[in-house]
Each structure stands twice: as C-alpha cells, then as structure tokens.
Structure 1
Amino acid sequence: MSKDVSAFVHSLYKTNNFLPLHEPVFSGNEKKYVLETIDSTFVSSVGEFVDRFEKMFADYVGGKYAVATVNGTAALHVCLLMAEVVANDEVITQPLTFVATCNAISYCGAIPVFIDVDRDSMGLSADKLAEWLAANAEIRGNECFNRRTGRRIKACVPMHTFGHPARIEKIKTVCDQYGVVVVEDAAESLGSFVGDKHTGAFSELAAFSFNGNKTITTGGGGMLVTDNEALAKRAKHITTTAKLSHPYKYVHDEVAYNYRMPNLNAALGCAQMEQLDGFLAIKRSIAEQYKTFFESREESFVVERAGTKANYWLNAIVVNEAKRDEFIEQTNALGVMTRPIWGLMNRLPMFKACESGDLGNAEWLEARVVNLPSGVISPA
C-alpha cells in the first residue's frame, strides 16, 4: 500500500528526492520587492508593502479592510478581542484543529467548548452546534449563557480544515439566533469559496495565516479581515502597541500588542499574491490526480463538498485505522512526507477540563486522516 502511494507521489512531482508536505515557492518578484524594502530602510512594521499587501488581500477575499499581523495566531487573537471576548467567557470551537485556534481563545482568558465536526468537511458541524446550544444555552437580555456553567457564550470559531469550507452559512445562522459572534479561522483556506463567496467573508471577523507551509507565505504572518471600519482601525491600533500618532513623542493609551507585520514580510506577501491564481491552479491539478489515483484503492481521497471550492491546501486521505500508523512510517521511510491529522484539542492537558459535546466524528477522523505532499510546484 505505502510503496504504491510513494511511487505515485514521486511520479506526480517528477522527483525521487524527499517530498515535504508543502514547501514554499518563490518564483516571482519576491527578491525584487525584498531588496526594495532594504534599499528604502523601511524593513519593520511601517512601509509601503504593508499597505499594499493589506489592500491586495482585502480585495481578493472580498473584505473592505485587512490588518496584517506577525502570524495567524495573532490575527485570530485580535479578532477575538474585537469580538469583545473577555476572561471567563466561553468560545465554541472544534476539537479537530491546530492548537493555535485554542491558544488564541486562551490568550483572552476565555474557555473553549468543543463541538463535533462533519466528516465530509472536517469542520465544525452546524447541526451538532445547534443541538448543543438548544440543550445548554439560554438567552439573558441580549446575551447567551451556558445554563450549566453560568458563563457567557460569547463567540464561535469554526475552522476551514485543510482549506475545505465548513458549513459556514448554517453555522452563522445558528449563532445569530443565540447572539453568538462568529469569528472564522480561515488560516488554511485562502482561495477557498462557498459558491462565489470567499471563506472569511461570512462573518464580521476572520483570520488568515501565511506561515511557511501555507498556500502563500510571508515567512511568518497573518491577516485580520473585516467589513467594519471601526473594528479595522481599532485592530490596527492595538497591534501597534496602541501608540498615538505624534511626530516624536511616545504616547500609548492602553495595554496593547506588538503584532504588526514587518515590511520585509509584506514584500514577500505582495509577490506571492501576484502568483496566487497560478498556485491554486497547480494545487487543483495535483488534487485531481490524487483523486483519480485513489478512486480504485481502499484509501479514500477527501474531496471538496458540493457547492464549495476548496484550495486543497493539504491533500488528505482516509486510511484504515489499523493501518494508518504503519502507512505513515513507511511512506516517510520511502521519501514521501505524510503525517496524521492533529490530535484532538480536548485530549491536550491544558484543555482536558473543557466542556464538549459528543465528538464521534472528530474521533473517527483523528484515527484515520493522513496528509500527503501538496506543494505548489507544478508536476508538469
């Protein structure tokens, strides 16, 4: 099983070298733009490439405003602060996610509540969310509270897993009924759509990531996107240490964060955005070839669900649970990097005490899903 898969992946990428999951590609204006930042001496959080990158990104995802940050976790943290999440609030999310989702919640002093995912999208289940809220939530005034814990349920953070859009429209409808703010964790889903609407555009606040393994990269970086001008201005303020504008005085009006993206990183981002459509086309071609290969095999390839367009950031297959670990060990030994999906957040020591619903789908996926090399280097 693993030998056939490894041979196919090597032939797909036309190399016998070790294949990582997702290495960055710098084939455009990256060096030119970085050198321009060096020549300008504006290499930190002020510079023309920061503004340009924010504008390019907002335009692409259909948002009015974008605020660049040092990483996706920082972007999500600021989103939650803009959503007025405070200490002792509860924030609903999924257990099948990268730890940054829950870390950002914890930075606010808030407490994650774990709701199951759908098997096809691997993202938060709108139906399970509705069931849990119906059984546990009550409205007091204009706010939602957990009847059992007495804590306020302030926000919900669905994550678009590996670039496969969650059922975000239904999630938003359910949350609106309870006055729960939706913050999209779109870290992995640049280039993913529900219908003709980009992920991150379904809620007032969304966070994206540009880590070195993402579809486009700035080395490290993130982006907050919103249509709310006041929230965008405040986000920019608190990500730049809450410094008031003045020719030479250092005046800060609140405790804030040094979260702004440096101009050097934004220069990379601009060059990468110029190539995004090409990257996505290559990734879709690779995904289609994986899909065809796995159609006649016992492993199943995870495809975009009807009505959505996934970016196929990381291609995923479902492997027999009893064979999963052996498959991963053998493919890596054969020069093809594979890895299991994340362990569930509710199993981690810092989140073990958090409340959760039935997590049957998340547990099923945790035991079976494997990621395959998904880089944007053309196999042609």
Structure 2
Amino acid sequence: MNSADLLVNVFMPAVLVALAWWMPSLTSPTLPFGVRSPEARADAPEVARHRGRYRWQVTASGVLLITAGVLVSSTLRFDLPGVVLLLTIAACTAAYGRARAAVLAVKRREHWYDGLRQGVVADTTLHTDPERFPWVWAVPALLVCTGTTVLGVLRYPSLPDRVPVHFAGSGSADRFADRSIGTAFFPVFTQVALTALILALTLLSFRARADLDPARPADSARRHRRFSVRTAISLLLLAAFVDLSLLAGAWAMWHTDQQASPALILLPVLAGLVVVIGIAVRTGQGGSRLPAQDGVVAERGTGTVRRDDDRYWRLLGSAYVNRADPAVLVQKRFGIGWTINLGNPRGAVLLLGLILTPALLVPLLLR
C-alpha cells in the first residue's frame, strides 16, 4: 500500500470517524442529532443512550472498514481507491439516521413541547454594528495564488508541446493534453476560482441570520459573533491550504521530468481540514462550546424556548426548506457552518450556481 492509498483509505476515514464521533458534542445541546428540543431535555436519558449507541456504531464500523481495506489491499493486492472512505461515510450517515429517528420518536411520544412558550428573537446590532470581517486571514491564500501565477508565467515558455493533466496514484503522469493557456494554467485558474468562491461564501455566511436563543438572547448573540469570526478565519485558512495543494500539483505538471508526490499534494488539504476541525471543536456550532466572556454577568433565562421547527428540515435534517424565511443561509442542525435555504429562490439560485460553475468552467479551460 503506497502513501496515497494510506492517506485515502486509512488516514482520511480515521479522521472522518473521529469527526463523526465528536459531532454530537459540537452542536448545541438542544439539537441532539438535528432534532429541536427544549433545554430541559438536553440531558434526557433517552438522548444520552442514543448518543452512546451512535458513537459505538460509528467507531465499530470505522475500525472494521479500515481494517478490511488494509487487509484486502495488502494481501490480495487489490486497490480500493476511495472505496473505504465512501463506505465509511455511508456507515456514519446510517448511524446518524438511526439515532435521529430514535430521538424524534421519543420527542413525539413524550410531547416535549407541550405547555412550553415558544419564540424567536433577533439582535439588530448584528447588522447595525457587525463584527469586522477578518480580511487579513485572506492574505495567505492570495499570496499562494500570486506565487503560483508568477511561477507559471516563468515556466510556460519552456513547457513541452504536451503537458500532463492527470497523475496516477504512483505519481507518474498518465494523461496528457496539448499545451495551452487553459491546460498549463489550469491549477492557477482553479486556485483563483476556489479562493474567490470560499471568500464569497465566507462573506455571505458572515452576514447570515443568527440562530439566537430566546431564553438568553444577549449571551447567544455574543457567542454568535465569536463563532462567525472564528469560522471565517478557519475557512480562509482552508483556502490557503487547498491552494498549496494545487501549487504542489502545478509544480509536478510544470516539471515533466519529475513525478508527482500524492502525499505532498494531499497533505496540505488534510492540514487545512485539521485546522478547521480544531477550531470547530473549540468553538462549537453557533459558539455552543464557547465559555462566557470574562466580566459578563450571567444572563437570567426568560422562560421562552426556541420554536419547534423540525418540519422545515428534510433529508435527515440536512436540507432546510422554508419559503416563509427570507434567510439565504442558516446554521446547520448537525455539523459546523451553514446550509442553504432551498425554499428561498435566492438560495436555490445560489445552489444552482455552485453546481453549474465548475461543470462549465472545467471543459472551457481544458479546451
């Protein structure tokens, strides 16, 4: 098993299993497996039992799949490119679906929201006095893009008539194309497009609607501000790491006498994901894991709970569809970050653009 196989079939599935194991702790205690619940039910024995079962299933399936992949690849010499990772994703998704269905059943059976006062709250200062966008953290990605562009301009005159556009797992080029601006500078165009996309989405999410707790609106607004800044920083750093991976691929592409190192290409992306995950673990979704700021008096609860809005969340709670909600981006119910409101026409247009843009640009650049 070469280094690329180890990364794809061992390291990445292991990171995925660890993240899936941690996920229930990253989201708000009032959203066990994406199910809206009152604060009084956050530590319910049923929720704790299903959380433990979910973690056991995720761990067991991950260990079995990774071990089986290593044995098959090592003893039978049969390559499984990405299969172990895909099966691990499927196993973690199935475990999450079972846990979510179980918590929903308990919620309906015990009528968790009977007799409770539901409400929503907004903090207008998030728009009138927003946090400053951390532009300085976009500099590393921009510098990597600039450096790759300069290197490409210097190398272009000496490139052969046929340049490699794909590398096998061993690092050797196995597909070539005629030299052109589109083929030779494809890594640069990809860097620019990805950096611009991540920057645009980060800017948009920075102004996304806050999911504030009506029981403690001031405290949740403070947490949201810190969450927005930290998440934006992590995404901008991820863009820089992805650009480094593309730079490594471009270097191999522009030096046809050298083999590409799969480990060198994949490691920056993995490092970026580790940074994102590390910040997410410290922060939590919506700032749920952040401590109260020093010197801030604990806020008294108002007795109001978040409204029960499970009906707007489809596909195991991963898709938000609410035509009455003007928000384009909303916080995820399970995981870190934001998702698109598919009930909003602008959200549907945004999703369509995210899908069609790469599908149209790639053939155009490689012509």
TM range (shorter): under 0.3
Q: Which structure's residues are more often strand, by fraction?
A: 1
Structure whose CA Rg is larger: 2
Q: Which has the higher contact order (CA 8 A, sep 6+)?
A: 1
Q: TM-score, normalised by structure 1?
A: 0.23
